[in-house]
Amino acid sequence: MAAANLLALIDDIATLLDDVSVMSKVAAKKTAGVLGDDLALNADQVRGVKPDRELPVVWAVAKGSLLNKVILVPAALLISAFIPVLIVILLVLGGLYLCFEGAEKVLHRFFPHHTEAERDQRLAQLADADVDLVALEKEKIKGAIRTDFILSAEIIVIALGSIAGADFTTQVAVLCALSIAITVGVYGLVAAIVKMDDVGLYLLRKSLTGNFNSVQKISGRALLITAPLLMKTLAIVGTIAMFLVGGGILTHNIALIHHFAGAIISGIALPEVIVSLIVDGLMGFLAGAIVVGVVALLSRLRNTT
């Protein structure tokens, strides 16, 4: 009897693992678009950090990301089971926050809010070898973890929706497996991207003494040229991603905006995918600009009182 029970247990585990594998693939496909945005946004977060601090910053954000998912997975399961309507509300708030962050970057780029003296003081701090760079990085790390929290929440909610018909055990296993894979994959790629220039410099130095010096020299130069271009591109893509993800959340979850966007999409003679992305991006920027204006107004009123 004990042997029969053991075989039954093994069969149940094998079936569960098979279900988890299949459903994880489905969930990963559903969240692929958000993963691309997650990668671009997180690579952009370490832009401007000193080379010797890049990996520590990525590692700090990765730990924060893992903690985010430790909080989000059980929270999403509980909310889905007992207050499913709250998921949509939280998603919309998260979408507004992403739009706000993106609009703040764009608006402050064209309308700087720092004075010349403040910028000089900031540059002097960064140039001063005695300044604790880890302390200066804390705000950047916190901001990256906050952004990761929103994107992770969307990924988990999308994944949960794609496996809604599965039993509770399978849902937990899929979300845990997906969370670990996403964290390792995204931050592993971010670490590789930010260290491209270091690898290029290493290859150039090796080319002076190695047997394959021409190949190493070409590869090293290519990496050194590509690294800053890639980081600038990711900075732009990351900001656009904020509008696309945030605007997409608002467009798909607020009925009035959804109908308005649908009317625009159906009225333009272009591929629906392209028009939908443009509408999501514009909606995201508009919503973000409004939130930035409201926050600035409230800040000014608070300072005057």
CB 175 within 8 A of CB 152: no
* Cβ atoms of residues 268 and 302 within 8 Å: no
Which residue is listed with tokens 């693992």? 17
Per the domain annotation, does 115 fall within a domain?
Answer: yes
Rounded Cα distance, 95 and 261, in Å: 16
Position 112 scores a pLDDT of 65
Question: How many domains would you assign to the chain?
Answer: 1
- Domain assignment present for residue 186? The answer is yes
Q: CA nearest 105: which of 37, 44, 152?
A: 44
Q: Is residue 1 part of a domain?
A: no
Report the alpha-carbon distance of residue 210 to residue 157 in Å, rounded. Answer: 51
Q: How far apart are CA 104 and CA 291, in angstroms?
A: 9
The DSSP result for 121-136, as a single string, is: HHHHHHH-TTS-HHHH
Is the Cα torsion angle 81, 82, 85, 87 positive or negative in sign? negative
Identify whether 220 is part of a domain: no
Neighbours of 280 (CB within 10 A): 21
- pLDDT given for residue 285 in this prediction: 94
**Tell me, what's the pLDDT at 204?**
76
Residue 221 belongs to some domain of the structure: no
Residue 165: predicted pLDDT: 74
Domain limits for position 276:
17-195+234-304
* Residue 217 included in any domain: no
| pLDDT of the residue at 113 | 57
Task: Report the amino acid identity of residue 172.
Answer: V
Rounded Cα–Cα distance for residues 188 and 183 (Å): 8
CA 22, 27, 30, 32 torsion: positive or negative? negative
Task: Please state, in angstroms and rounded to a whole number, the distance separating the CA atoms of residues 200 and 205.
Answer: 9
Give the residue ranges of the chain where pLDDT is below 50. 1-24, 26-33, 115, 129-130
> Pick from 188, 199, 189: which is nearest to 227 by CA?
199
Query: Is residue 46 helix, strand or coil?
Result: coil
What's the pLDDT score for residue 128?
A: 52
8 Å CB contact between 54 and 141: no
Cβ-Cβ contacts under 8 Å for 220 (sequence gap 6 or more)? 199, 200, 201, 202, 203, 204, 205, 206, 207
